[in-house]
Structure 1
Amino acid sequence: MRIRNSCPEDGQRVVEIWRKAVDATHDFLSAQDRQEIDELVCGFLPQASLWLAVDEHDYPLAFMLIDEGHMQALFVDPDSRGTGVGKALVRHGLSLHPTMSTDVNEQNAQAVGFYEKMGFQRIGRSPVDDQGKPYPLIHLQYQA
């Protein structure tokens, strides 16, 4: 496994990773909200500058989006969960941004636990997500 920047040819695969990961971990989303988010993601994600964890055949297994030291997204294909690709991406992000922050849906307890195990600490909470939907966010920041 290695980490590299995304390129336009990765667009379809990163959307696939996002969909599979959300379907596996975000069962708290309403069907309508899931569809609305999907439309936003499909319009944005393929062109975004991402970090990818790829296998020996250069096949993307997971991706991370960082904007000015804030991890906006980390999604791992469910078939690759537990293999260390998420940890590798987070470590890579921390090598670039030692005090990286992120937000996690409160209902996604596995993700909250993952980040806390990686050394992130809770620094706040919002009762709604970035779109104003009733999905509370936990604000986390890495503490060395």
Structure 2
Amino acid sequence: MRFELRAVEGEHEYPRLLAVWRSSVEATHDFLTPADIEFFAARVPAYFPGVDLTAAVVDGVVAGFSGVAGGELAMLFVHAAHRGEGIGSALLRKAFAEFPRLTVDVNEQNAQAVGFYLHHGFVVVGRSELDSEGRPFPLLHLKRA
């Protein structure tokens, strides 16, 4: 599968980013209820302006994206239809190139994401019982080894 990485062009792309986020979360966050997903979906777009957003584009359509702020990978999501095509790894490599000491927080219950980051050289350096919204979804704090 061929894709290109580019900067997100602006707010007009936010609805597609949210659709990618939802597809990814529904495929990987089996610990969330539909109500939890709606809770977070209402908040996700507010985070977009505060991060440096990179889109992975397949045939002119955003298939994945990442957001980095201050050396922290704040978000990385790939549409379920494009999982396993190297998009997540490419987005992560781009973030590493810009921030060699990259950190990331990941939901402990999202075993697929934890495995992805460990596979890419991250190590667990801490844990929080609550997520950034104060909800009972523990986070693992990782940094590049």
Q: Which residue of 1 aligns with 2:69?
A: 67
Match of 1:125 in 2: 127
TM-score, with length taken from structure 2: 0.91
Instruction: Check whether the contact 2:6–2:54 (CA below 8 A) recurs between aligned residues.
Output: yes
Structure 2's unaligned 5+ residue stretches are none
Distance 1:112 1:28 in 2: 14
The match for 2:27 is: 24
Residues 54, 61 of structure 1: 8 Å contact kept: yes
Residue-by-residue CA offset, 1:84-125 (whole Å, 9 max, x unaligned): 000000000000000100000000001000000000111111
Q: SS at 2:142's partner residue?
A: strand
What TM-score results when the alignment is normalised by the length of structure 1?
0.92
| Residues 5, 50 of structure 1: 8 Å contact kept | yes
Please report how far the alpha carbon of residue 49 of structure 1 lies from its aligned counterpart in structure 2 after TM superposition.
3.9
What amino acid is aligned across from residue 21 of structure 2 in structure 1?
W
* Identical-residue share of aligned pairs (%): 39
Please tell me whether the aligned partners of residues 11 and 46 of structure 1 are also in contact (alpha carbons under 8 angstroms).
no
Whole-angstrom CA distance in 1 between matches of 2:18 and 2:142: 25
2:16 is matched with which residue?
Answer: 13
CA contact (8 A) 2:51 2:68 kept: no
Q: Cα RMSD (Å) of the superposition?
A: 1.6
Rounded to whole Å, the distance in 2 between the matches of 1:59 and 1:31 is 26
Q: Structure 1 residue 52 and structure 2 residue 81: aligned?
A: no
1:7-39 Cα shifts (integer Å, max 9, x gaps): 123222111101111111112123332221111
Map residues 26-45 of structure 1 onto 2, 5 A cutoff.
Answer: 26-45=29-48
Aligned to 2:107: 105
Q: Structure 1: which 5+ runs fail to align?
A: none
Cα distance change, pair 123–73 in 1 and its aligned pair in 2 (3 A): same
Number of residues of Structure 1 aligned to a counterpart in Structure 2: 142
